[in-house]
A and B are shown apart, each in its own frame.
Chain A
Amino acid sequence: MDIKDFIKKFRAEFEDIPQGSITPSTSIKDIEGWGSMHALIVVALADTEYGVTIKGEELKKANTIQDLFNLIVSQQK
């Protein structure tokens, strides 16, 4: 898996995010309208697309899209 593929899937889950505005360095909490529902969507994405279970505590520590990607990769091992 690479981060481009992850961003593509991430965008597909968030219809309300402007296309092209997400890069690896994007701060998750700065995404417009980001809230608790989006966190749930990320957890579901990690599970269904990557077979990875993310805990709330771990998700809180991820600041950027790159952090999120790294978290998923680290759980896959």
Chain B
Amino acid sequence: MGSYIKAISYYLPETILDNEQLSSIFPQYSPEEVFRRSGVLERHISAPAELPSDMAVKAAQKLFSENSINRNEIDFLIFCSMLLDRQAPTTACLLQERLGLSKNTGALDMPMGCSGYIYALCLAKSLIGSSVAKNVLILAGDCVTKTIEPTDHALRLLFGDGMTASLVSHCRKDEIGSFVLGSDGSGEKSLVIKGNNARENSAPEWAPSIVSTMPYGRLSMHGIDVLSFTLKTVPKMVDDLLAKENLTIDDIDMFIFHQPGGFVLEKLQRKLKIPPEKFFINIQNIGNTVSASIPIAISNALRTKRIKKGQRILLAGFGIGLSWGCTVITI
């Protein structure tokens, strides 16, 4: 049994943080400098009491109404987010109830970041290919701004909140190709959410200081190490996937990567020698939305007719873990 992405919808929180506001918080940067450093004009910020699961309900409702999808046909739910409602039960189980899905729905959390959407697609394809499921709902996104310390300008410039809902369904011909995946836990410290978790609670001498001010934990990023990882890993995985699929860059109609920041994207495009018109940039109005970035980009590329049905798109996600993955789809 083959599989394809049948529909994507997304939800962005109402509150916007633009470069004028950031410039008034961090007077060392003009609004133009904020844009030069990030490639971002504005980011959406979740409300104080709004969690990824709350945004997931909204994104899923949009998916059902915008695409006339019958929720009773969904038989598997993957919730991909780094901020879960509880340690247990899984947030995916809670979402089964909140979305009114069938009790025959398998429900699974995937606490992954920027590579999460690729992993979720891989799992969805595998579940359908092995006849476990026919219609897999992927809810992917985050409230990453809740984990950013207010004075951390490097992160506040880049990140925004957002949530996506994708339906991966069965079909005769497989429209989701092979995958290249990878992980490297030795990069834990280069990108990590510190604070309220078992590892740090087991060594409590310093944890409470973070927990008291940052209840969701604190995102810490070593920009140089993350950039080095990205430039080293992403081109190689793209090359490996193209070789595996017996394709070249010319055979791909559009490259849609995770959107970490304007600078990194430009360097990746140059290193991979991808023509700019085939390299989709979708960061200006949302920033880095973690696992929501790829599905939002696909949706916007379709809406603005940068891609058309039937075209071959290469998707690549990479980040916290460290973790990475890419695949080729026919949209």
Contacts and interface: CB of A to CB of B under 8 A. Distances in A.
Contact of A55 (B223, B228, B231, B271): B228
Interface in A21-77: 36-37, 39-40, 43-44, 47-48, 53-56, 59
A43 B224 contact: yes
B223 A48 contact: no
Contacts of A36: 154, 223
Contacts of A43: 224, 227-228, 231
Given A44-B267, A47-B232, A37 B224 contact: no
A48 B227 contact: no
B223 A44 contact: no
A49 to B, nearest CB: 10
A40 B227 contact: yes
Given A36-B154, A40-B263, A47 B224 contact: no
A14 to B, nearest CB: 13
B271 A47 contact: yes
Contacts of B154: 36
A54 B224 contact: yes
B270 interface: yes
B223 A40 contact: yes
B232 A48 contact: no
Contacts of A44: 227, 231, 263, 267
B222 interface: yes
B195 to A, nearest CB: 22
B225 interface: yes
Contacts of A59: 224
B244 interface: no
A50 B270 CA distance: 14
A37 B228 CA distance: 14
Contact of A54 (B222, B228, B267): B228
A48 B224 contact: no
B37 interface: yes
Contacts of A47: 228, 231-232, 267, 271
Interface in B194-252: 222-225, 227-228, 231-232
Contacts of B232: 47, 53
A54 B225 CA distance: 8
A59 B223 CA distance: 12
B37 A56 contact: no
Contact of A53 (B222, B228, B263, B270): B228
Contacts of B231: 43-44, 47-48, 53
Contacts of B270: 48
B225 A48 contact: no
A1 B271 CA distance: 20
Interface in B250-303: 263, 267, 270-271
Given A40-B227, A43-B224, A54-B228, 16 more contacts: A36-B154, A37-B37, A39-B223, A39-B224, A40-B223, A40-B263, A44-B231, A44-B267, A47-B228, A47-B231, A47-B271, A48-B267, A53-B228, A53-B231, A55-B228, A56-B224
| 7 tightest A-B CB contacts, nearest first | A56-B224, A47-B231, A44-B267, A53-B228, A56-B225, A53-B232, A43-B227
21 contacts: A37-B263, A40-B223, A40-B227, A40-B263, A43-B224, A43-B227, A43-B228, A44-B263, A47-B228, A47-B231, A47-B271, A48-B267, A48-B270, A48-B271, A53-B232, A54-B224, A55-B224, A55-B228, A56-B222, A56-B224, A56-B225
Interface of A: 36-37, 39-40, 43-44, 47-48, 53-56, 59
